[in-house]
């Protein structure tokens, strides 16, 4: 495939297939996600959405397929990289469906762990840090400033010194996003960020995600069940069913796609005749 484009997409997924033994969780999936866009992956339960995320973020090694992330004129082949290298070098950050914060560490500490690599280098792998050299202190101040910025964005600045595990559910969701953003990613993968949020919280989440997209110029990849979130903020929606892509386009196009309606609402005889 040599379709030269004027600009390479941020993430190019080609022929991704993931099999677990006899079960094919993802079947020949190809799609692209762009910078400064919110790309949503939707689909019924068990459609393979989280598996796609796990392949992108290196938790699974895909059976077949090529995942290319384009960042600052470098191409990273994600399927060949270790999970932590993907986060480090390719700049893919993620959140989890079941929130995974460092519960017994403070909110601020959570955000500093996200900046581990920068700080570790500044501490000269702990030798400079051990004796509190000024260069390390400056780096740490900078890291705290970045954390402060994100805490203000997600409105958690007042809880910075509390244990992450003590926050209410909605706050924990936002903190997880802030933590992912503190890694300074090129792409942010959010696994059901609106799950368990009330309407007001999910409206706030929309605003936050639009802000991340527009102000920070990164690509957002989103798995979501809440259609008010998906339809309102996505630029591009991909619909999966049984591991296959059944639709791909703008929210409006997808909403009216008969294949999508069939997957979500089931088939009845009349509909089949009508088609």
Partner 1 sequence: MSGQATLKEAGLTALLSMVLALPLIGLETVEEQGGLTLDTRLLWVLLIGAAVFAGRLGLIAWRSRKTVGTSTAAARRASALGETMHGIMPWIAGAAILFAVIMPFLPFANRTVVDLATLVLIYVMLGWGLNIVVGLAGLLDLGYVAFYAIGAYSFAMLAMHADFTFWMALPFAGLFACAFGVILGFPVLRLRGDYLAIVTLGFGEMIRIILLNWYHVTGGPDGISGIPRPGLFGLEFTRNGDPAFHEFFGLEYSSMYRLMFLYYLILILALITNWVTLRLRRLPIGRAWEALREDEIASRALGLNPTAVKLSAFAIGAMFGGFAGAFFATRQGFISPESFTFIESAIILAIVVLGGMGSQVGVVIAAVIMIGLPEWFRELQEYRMLLFGAGMVVIMVLRPRGLLSKRNPTIRLHAKKAGAMR
- Residues of this chain that interact with partner 1 (CB under 8 A) are 57, 59, 82-85, 87-88, 93-94, 96, 100-106, 108-109, 112-117, 119-120, 123, 125-126, 129-130, 132, 137, 140, 144, 147-148, 151, 157-158, 160-161, 163, 179-180, 183
Neighbours of 175 (CB within 10 A): 23
Nearer to partner 1 by Cβ, of 122 and 254: the residue is 122
Nearer to partner 1 by Cβ, of 78 and 239: the residue is 78
Q: In what order do the strands lie in the sheet with 236-241?
A: 92-94, 187-191, 219-223, 38-42, 236-241, 244-249
Q: Minimal distance in Å, beta carbon 128 to partner 1?
A: 9
- Terminal CA-CA length for the chain: 33
Q: Minimal distance in Å, beta carbon 108 to partner 1?
A: 5
Q: Minimal distance in Å, beta carbon 162 to partner 1?
A: 9
Selection from 64, 18, 26, 38 nearest residue 241 by Cα: 26
Q: Minimal distance in Å, beta carbon 102 to partner 1?
A: 4
Question: How far is Cα of residue 53 from the mean position of the Cα atoms in its chain?
Answer: 8
Nearer to partner 1 by Cβ, of 41 and 86: the residue is 86
Q: Minimal distance in Å, beta carbon 127 to partner 1?
A: 10
Neighbours of 187 (CB within 10 A): 25
Please give the Cα distance from 222 to 39 (Å, whole number).
6
Nearer to partner 1 by Cβ, of 94 and 245: the residue is 94
């Amino acid at each position: 495939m040599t379709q030269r484009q004027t600009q390479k997409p941020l993430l190019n997924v080609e022929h991704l297939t993931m099999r677990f033994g006899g079960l094919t969780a993802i079947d020949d999936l190809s799609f692209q996600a762009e910078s400064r866009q919110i790309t949503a992956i939707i689909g019924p339960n068990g459609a393979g959405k989280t598996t796609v995320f796990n392949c992108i973020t290196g938790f699974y090694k895909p059976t077949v397929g090529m995942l290319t992330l384009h960042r600052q004129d470098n191409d990273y082949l994600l399927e060949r990289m270790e999970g932590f290298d993907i986060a480090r070098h390719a700049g893919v950050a993620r959140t989890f469906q079941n929130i995974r914060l460092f519960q017994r560490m403070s909110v601020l500490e959570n955000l500093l762990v996200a900046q581990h690599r920068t700080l570790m280098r500044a501490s000269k792998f702990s030798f400079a840090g051990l004796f509190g050299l000024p260069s390390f202190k400056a780096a740490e101040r900078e890291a705290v400033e970045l954390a402060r910025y994100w805490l203000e964005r997600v409105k958690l600045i007042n809880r910075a010194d509390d244990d992450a595990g003590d926050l209410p559910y909605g706050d924990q969701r936002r903190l997880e996003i802030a933590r992912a953003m503190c890694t300074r990613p090129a792409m942010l993968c959010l696994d059901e960020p609106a799950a368990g949020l009330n309407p007001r919280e999910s409206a706030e989440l929309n605003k936050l995600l639009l802000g991340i997209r527009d102000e920070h110029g990164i690509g957002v990849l989103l798995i979501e069940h809440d259609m008010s979130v998906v339809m309102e903020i996505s630029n591009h929606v991909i619909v999966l069913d049984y591991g296959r892509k059944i639709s791909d386009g703008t929210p409006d196009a997808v909403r009216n796609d008969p294949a999508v309606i069939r997957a979500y609402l089931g088939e009845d005889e009349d509909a089949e005749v009508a088609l």
